[in-house]
Structure 1
Amino acid sequence: MECERPVTGGPCWTELGTSDLEAAKAFYTELFGWRPEADSRQTAGAYAMAYLGEAPIATLTPLYHDSQPVAWSVSFSVAHADTAGRAVTEAGGTVVVGPTEVFDYGRFAVAADPSGATFQLWQPRTFEGAGLLNAPGTLGWVELLTRDPERARAFYRDVFGWTVSDSARYPRWGVAGGEFGGMMTMDDKFPPEVPPHWLPYFVVTDVDASAAVAADAGGVVLMAPTTVPDGPRIAVLRDPQGAMFGVYVRDGRG
């Protein structure tokens, strides 16, 4: 990601829905040094905001219904949630929830692209999203895993105005002149029951050490630390409750 704060059309926030909120707080505090704090307003539910210093980084929430998977979700900043929601449906996607107000923070909706990969729309008011991006312990990259890359290119271009690189191996998404994510085609190596999805990557200073910390804390290393040719060093992990996410060092040396 080539920005340190959210920009319109780009990723601005990430949220974990988990089956064990207290265990998730402990795990991500150990891994990233986050400071989770519960919202004092009863109407906010049992969610916790995770901070690094004074910067809000992510939300950790309980599962709100039985069919909700344990997973990380990615939010994209939009100027108008209702307008963006209409763009989603016109492009062949679905608005799953909302748009709806979230206190005085902003306006929120959950959407799905034509393949079923879900994401969130966030229209900021008093809360723009992450107070810091692209720094150790924060969201630094987002990746779409899909079985229909050509339709995904058209959909996200129409909804957000994104650019996409011509790379056949790993197209990269861009907005406002900077790249913030990529797209991986799901081939036969992915079990058919694994749905298309967005995967957040968090910046770390040492991928190998972070993978070891995650494993020691009860997580699973799904993809061992590896250095992408001409790219970063990455690993894909799963927390003890089952949510997948990535970690990476941009220059590949960590």
Structure 2
Amino acid sequence: MRNPFLHGVGGVLSADIAVPEHERELRFYSKVLTTGSTPLWQDDLTNNQGTPVIGLGERSPEYEALPLQWMPHFQVSNVAESVDLTLELGGQELMHAKGDGGQSQWAVLLDPAGAAFGIIPAVEDQSGSAHHDERIGCISWPSLVVSDVASICEFYEKVIGWSAAPTNTESGFEMLRPDGVAAAEICAKNKDNESIPSVWILSLPVDDFDESLRQVREGGGEIIKEMTGADKHTVIKDPVGVYIALQAAI
């Protein structure tokens, strides 16, 4: 079972980025994500129930150290321990928020391949349901393409609390939460995906896939890799050079 958008250790709660040309970027994503007769996203990039899932912030001096990547926020059991493990395993700490007593609250990190991600304490599910409706607008799937799959899988197993399970694709692994639900995928770089950088690629569902791709081109973005068939899925680059993916809503 695949479902990254769950509460608990290993789940993906949200994602954000701080960008230059903020107004232009907001216009771009607002048009790209709100296509179709029943858009899955609102113009402010909340989903169509008004819940913040992705955040597009201005690139102020406070955020200059952050790379231009969409950064998923992974839930972990202990933020401080995950930060320490990141440093031990060759990653970097970019930001680390602590409370008045010195307790870790959240952090932004880089893995050894250069992919940025955030970590936050695991959030308990108050709804009593383990399912969600993808059509409300959420992160459908995060994926990462790297040269050294084995070491990066081991990194995330230790830092996030995932376990790696081989997929049907060559040299690919689904990263499983402790409850066995797949939350992400890590794939080996090859000739088919060499145009995709080693950053977390977030797939966002859209209501009118073809119209969204038209809006990408019209808004100054670029189609990087388009996959058709039963599962329409395309990696794009936005006007300031940030990579993300669009997925046809089921």
Q: TM-score, normalised by structure 2?
A: 0.77
Which protein has greater RCO, CA pairs closer than 8 Å, 6+ apart? 2
Query: Which one has a larger percent strand, Structure 1 or Structure 2?
Result: 1
Runs of 4+ off more than 6 Å:
none
Cα distance in 2 between the residues matched to 1:96 and 1:238 = 24
Partner of 2:129: none
Deviation readout 1:118-176 (Å, 9 max, x if unpaired): 211112679x9xxx774353211101121110101211111222122223523212212
Partner of 1:23: 24
Cα distance in 1 between the residues matched to 2:138 and 2:31 = 14
Q: The residue matched to 1:142 in structure 2 has which SS?
A: strand
Deviation readout 1:176-199 (Å, 9 max, x if unpaired): 2211221122246737xx862211
Partner of 2:9: 8
Shift of 1:204: 2.3
Q: In structure 1, what residue type is equivalent to 2:117?
A: F
Residues 19 and 70, structure 1, Cα contact 8 Å, conserved in 2? no
Q: Where do 5+ consecutive residues of structure 2 fail to align? A: 35-40, 127-131
Q: In structure 2, what residue type is equivalent to 1:211?
A: L
Partner of 1:152: 152
Residues 9 and 122, structure 2, Cα contact 8 Å, conserved in 1? no
Total equivalences in the alignment: 228
Q: In structure 1, what residue type is equivalent to 2:71?
A: S
Q: The residue matched to 1:197 in structure 2 has which SS?
A: coil
Partner of 2:207: 205
Q: Mapping of 1:196-235 within 5 angstroms?
A: 196-227=198-229, 232-235=231-234
Residues 50 and 60, structure 1, Cα contact 8 Å, conserved in 2? no
**Alpha-carbon distance change, 12 to 68 in structure 1, aligned in 2, over 3 angstroms:** same
**RMSD over equivalenced CA pairs, Å:** 3.1
Residues 105 and 121, structure 2, Cα contact 8 Å, conserved in 1? yes
Partner of 2:53: 57
Q: Where do 5+ consecutive residues of structure 1 fail to align? A: 38-48
Q: TM-score, normalised by structure 1?
A: 0.76
**Alpha-carbon distance change, 148 to 64 in structure 1, aligned in 2, over 3 angstroms:** farther
**Which of 62, 68, 71 is residue 70 of structure 1 equivalent to?**
68
Shift of 1:27: 1.6
Cα distance in 1 between the residues matched to 2:111 and 2:69 = 17
Shift of 1:68: 4.4
Q: Mapping of 1:25-174 within 5 angstroms?
A: 25-33=26-34, 34-35=41-42, 50-65=46-61, 68-100=66-98, 107-123=105-121, 134-135=134-135, 137-167=137-167, 169=170, 170-174=172-176
Shift of 1:234: 0.7
Identity level (%):
20
